[in-house]
Structure 1
Amino acid sequence: MSSWGALLRRGHLGTEADRATFRTLHTALLASPPLRQGLNPASAERSLKHLRTLLGAPAVAMTDTTRLLAWEGGRAHHSRQPAVIAAATLGHGRTTVVDGADIACDEPSCVVRHAIVAPLDIEEKVVGTLQVFTDQASAGLVRATNEVARWVSGQLELAELDASRTRLMEAEVRALRAQISPHFIYNSLTAIASFTRTDPERARELLLDLAEFTRYSFRKHGEFTTLAEELRSIEAYLVIEKARFGDRLTVTLRVAPEVLPVVVPFLCLQPIVENAVRHGLERKPGDGEITILAQDADRECVVTIEDNGVGEDPERLRQVLGGDPSSDSVGLANVDERLRATFGDDYGLVIETAQGAGTKVTVRLPKFRPGVHA
């Protein structure tokens, strides 16, 4: 496949105006990734060299509300001025042109005579400035600086949305831990206590399983994990539940080795399994069965979690997935939302159930998704 550079050399992009448009878009594309990391010294330094190219200015600077973040273009004797001349724009939120004593210097050869200071804002709040230092602040350059500043603001807003999404998902995981853990730990300790005198070795092994479960559930780092790690925690959980249920509970777990490295949102399957036990089997007289299958499906992994419990009214289930706060179902809405937020709406939970007929939950997971790493 021909590179864009080769296409440009062969004239495939048409007129000079077409080629200039391409160069502008390409330069903006280079500036975008660092800006998507938010407003900080590192992102400002990495993006400014491309923004200076866009504006064709001798020097450019970026500030937050209190300090210079980065300077690009030499003429470092002016780099003490951006934090000072930003004050007016930070105050009223409009672009200003500064000249005279505010940007004066003692260098006879310096071409800088004006500075254009444009606001950077996120959700209508000024968070910094983009500054262009130039010999002549023409109307065209002022307009160009305004437009570039608006584009930079858009990238910073996207960065803030990404950060907000991450904070939200972290809060949802914390809420999920708070909802699951007390119930399970209480039942676990009760089951382990029943073996301390009659079967101390089994009590010790169950304590190790509980330690494995809590180690995983309360880990502090990482929005994502592997399917192998998630299933290992589920196995520890089910060993303890089998001790509590005794012969009443049968567990079948079949996993294709190819899907073990698949990356999944942290705690995306464990709540489904706990929901099957807590709401499907605890209320069911007689024996209970849980079957967990993880299958290779070309570019996807398909996980099914099925129980033969009491089932659920489909209408009630729709309310649960809609986030009904009165529901005590463990985390199904939480899991559904996080799957959709991570992989898209095509990857939410698919639940088949009816009262008295058990429940089957299907989770489809892409084997690879850019930006999703354990």
Structure 2
Amino acid sequence: MSSTAIQLLVAAGAATLFVALAAGLVLRFLRRDRSLGTAAAQTRYETLHAVARTAPSLEHGLDPSTAPAAAASLASLLAADGVALLDSHRLLARHGTWPQGYSPTFGVLAEKTKVLKVPDGARTWHVVVSPLRVGTRRVGTLEVSVESVDASLVRAVDETASWVSAQLGVSELESQRAALAEAEVRALRAQISPHFIYNSLNAIASFIHTDPEHARELVLEFADFTRYSFRRRSDFTTLAEELTAIEGYLRLERARFGDRLRVRLDVAREVLPMPLPFLTLQPLVENAVRHGLERSPHGGTVTLTVRDEGDGALIRVEDDGVGADPERIREVLTGTTAGEHVGLRNVDQRLRQLYGPGSGLVVDTAPGAGLAVVTRIPKFHPGAVPTAKPTPTLAKGTP
């Protein structure tokens, strides 16, 4: 057979295969298109839509301000006459129709879903009561009123209560995460303050008689820095604002170290407005000064580099001081030991909580070889709140 004939057969086979695949895809699309209008598909859509509509009302837990919207959505989801939500000590919301004279009550708190018969004139209503739990704790109650009840509705209420409980659990975990993050910021401030305040006040005192004007400037720097450190406007700041605080911190440390402390700054201007967690860079710079250069008889240089990397910024804080044992730093970051470099662990934990377990600090060090800390911070976080954007006066080179 000639090569031309073989090529024709191959082409014909490929065309046949393509037609078959195309026909199969068309048939699948047609079958799927016909199923979109079925009663079952419509019911699934309406159920999922009702669930999606309810979830935002529960994202802050059993809150009186959002419970009415949640109760209304749950009534639609269950096709119930009425829905009530209670926390552990009060009625939060009651939606829809209920038996005359009946009020959701804590007297019916049950360990599992149960059905109450409630007379209403000539009729008898049914109220399905189901507990809401986070873990093993009873945190509230879901009550559903209907004129007629069957086993499927009871199961539906029970499953809905389980779903609401899961949402409340997520809300509680988020609240605990936020509280933990704030506690860590407070702990970080406490770790900075005693050491820094003591040294700063001593440095200021040393200039009061010899150079009172310089002492006055240092007092103002000290006031500005402590005001920034102890503020409570947001969990986020901007890179520019953090650099301004670092500038004040370094001026105070220069009063102590003199020419023994040298600083190099290389920051891409494009990333200055970028939001980042409050007190992220300053503890890294303080760690370099306090643990890297303070013990070196000749002092040294702290280098802060921030590079623009598209959707994030690469940050590197480096010193050429005494360095540290890499195993000791690993133990500090993993929390298996306490003591020095705790600021590194605090920042590392906060970054991982905010941006995921893949975030955090990468530390490169060895005894006598200085220490470098590297991290990458995304330019966007849903919790970031814009703040003022002062432009730091600290320029490249030594402050």
TM-score (norm 1): 0.89
Q: Which moved further from structure 2: 222-231 or 294-303?
A: 222-231
Q: Which amino acid aligns with 1:94?
A: K
Q: Which amino acid aligns with 2:222?
A: L
What's 1:5 paired with? Answer: none
What's 2:160 paired with? Answer: 148
> Equivalents in 1 of 2:364, 2:378: separation in Å?
21
> Which of 361, 365, 371 matches 1:349?
361
Any stretches of 5+ residues in structure 2 without a counterpart?
A: 1-32, 387-399
What's 2:79 paired with? Answer: 56
Indicate if the aligned counterparts of 1:259 and 1:301 stay in contact, CA closer than 8 A: yes
CA pair 39-112 structure 1, distance change in 2 beyond 3 A:
farther
Q: Say if 2:99 is the partner of 1:87.
A: no
What's 1:47 paired with? Answer: 70
> Which of 83, 92, 96 matches 1:73?
96
What's 1:268 paired with? Answer: 280
Q: Which amino acid aligns with 2:108?
A: A
CA pair 334-49 structure 1, distance change in 2 beyond 3 A:
same
CA RMSD of aligned residues (A): 2.1
Q: Which amino acid aligns with 1:227?
A: L
> Which of 8, 15, 21 matches 2:44?
21
Indicate if the aligned counterparts of 1:58 and 1:112 stay in contact, CA closer than 8 A: no
> Equivalents in 2 of 1:256, 1:351: separation in Å?
22
> Equivalents in 2 of 1:81, 1:207: separation in Å?
64
> Equivalents in 2 of 1:254, 1:213: separation in Å?
22
CA pair 77-275 structure 1, distance change in 2 beyond 3 A:
farther
What's 2:310 paired with? Answer: 298
Indicate if the aligned counterparts of 2:50 and 2:73 stay in contact, CA closer than 8 A: yes
1:75 Cα offset (Å): 5.3
Indicate if the aligned counterparts of 2:314 and 2:376 stay in contact, CA closer than 8 A: yes
Matched residue of 1:120: which SS?
A: strand
Superimposed CA distance per residue, residues 92-135 of structure 1 (whole angstroms, 9 cap, x where no aligned partner)? 4211211234xx3x6x8xx8711111111111111111111110
Indicate if the aligned counterparts of 1:306 and 1:358 stay in contact, CA closer than 8 A: yes
Name the % identity: 51
Higher radius of gyration, 1 or 2: 2
Q: Say if 2:214 is the partner of 1:202.
A: yes
Superimposed CA distance per residue, residues 331-359 of structure 1 (whole angstroms, 9 cap, x where no aligned partner)? 11111111000001221101111111111
Superimposed CA distance per residue, residues 300-357 of structure 1 (whole angstroms, 9 cap, x where no aligned partner)? 0111111111111111110111114432224111111110000012211011111111
Indicate if the aligned counterparts of 2:240 and 2:273 stay in contact, CA closer than 8 A: yes
1:74 Cα offset (Å): 4.9
What's 2:334 paired with? Answer: 322
Indicate if the aligned counterparts of 1:312 and 1:356 stay in contact, CA closer than 8 A: yes
TM-score (norm 2): 0.84
> Which of 322, 333, 351 matches 1:310?
322
CA pair 164-295 structure 1, distance change in 2 beyond 3 A:
same
Q: Which amino acid aligns with 2:78?
A: L
